[in-house]
Amino acid sequence: MVFKKLLLSVCAVATLSVAAADDALARDKLRVGTEPTFAPFEFMDTQTREFVGYDIDLIRAVADKAGYDIEVVNMGFDALIPALGMGVVDVVAAGVTITEERSKRVDFTAPYYTAGLSMLVRKEDAAKYPDFKSLENQAIAVQIGTTGADKAKDIPGAKVTNYNATSEAFMALTSRNAEAVVHDRPVLAYFMKTQPRMSQSLQLQPAIEDAQQYGFAVKKGNKELLDKLNKGLEAVRQAGEDKQIYSKWFAQ
């Protein structure tokens, strides 16, 4: 009886110390900022209400190699870079194009994806607006703070409306509040492919401009984290995990 009691308390102590060891092993969380209306790079799964997409899988794999778990934080695209500066998030994973201008404010990892800008128009206007030049003096819908917004601003006479979400820019086009949407081509293509009802009256134009490379961003000067992420990215590539993630989101 005494022995049994002793055994029980030994077990209890053992359980306690396992729990303590678990805590000690619990990994730090990287706070990852994103703007989830940019499928297939980042969007909300309508069933699970989870953040999903190529960037989410990739940054999770990269963070894992660096010894971190991730916690995804949702914010406006134009708030992401300021949030890094204020220390609200540790990393931004949001299909962010590496530009000279942005490189003054944040540090980017090695590029992980190459894209270009393109334009979506209504089918009946396809001949009228074949390229960026034909959008002169027209109403253009873009997502706020993006390279697509910059591109549209540079088109002479264009009346540019900045929307918070990509989906709102698409709606402006279908509801005839805009003649075109200028945005990253893979995102326009994914919309055409996966939303046939919403996109059936629309056409993705072949025009592509400005090859752009996406990078993950960290606070300017956070060399320690930048190095860890670059090493993580390299390890993910060595293991071929990036290819698996790519085919998961870009198959066919």
84: contact with ligand ARG by CB under 6 A = no
DSSP 76-104: -GGGHHHHHHHTS-SEE-S--B--HHHHT
Task: Name which position in 30, 32, 35, 169 contacts ligand ARG (CB under 6 A).
Answer: 35
Among the listed residues 143, 215, 154, 133, the one whose alpha carbon sits nearest the alpha carbon of residue 183: 143
In total, the chain counts a number of residues equal to: 252
> What is the rounded CA–CA span in Å between residue 205 and residue 130?
6
Q: Are 182 and 119 in contact (CB under 8 A)?
A: yes
93: contact with ligand ARG by CB under 6 A = no
182: contact with ligand ARG by CB under 6 A = no
Strand order in the sheet with 37-38: 37-38, 42-44, 51-52
57: contact with ligand ARG by CB under 6 A = no
Least distance in angstroms from the C-beta of 206 to ligand ARG: 19
Task: Name which position in 109, 143, 199, 205 contacts ligand ARG (CB under 6 A).
Answer: 143
Task: Name which position in 68, 77, 108, 129 contacts ligand ARG (CB under 6 A).
Answer: 77
Task: Name which position in 30, 63, 81, 94 contacts ligand ARG (CB under 6 A).
Answer: 94
109: contact with ligand ARG by CB under 6 A = no
> What is the rounded CA–CA span in Å between residue 31 and residue 171?
31
Least distance in angstroms from the C-beta of 227 to ligand ARG: 23
Binding site for ligand ARG (CB under 6 A): 34-35, 37-38, 42, 77, 94-97, 143, 146-147, 166, 184, 212
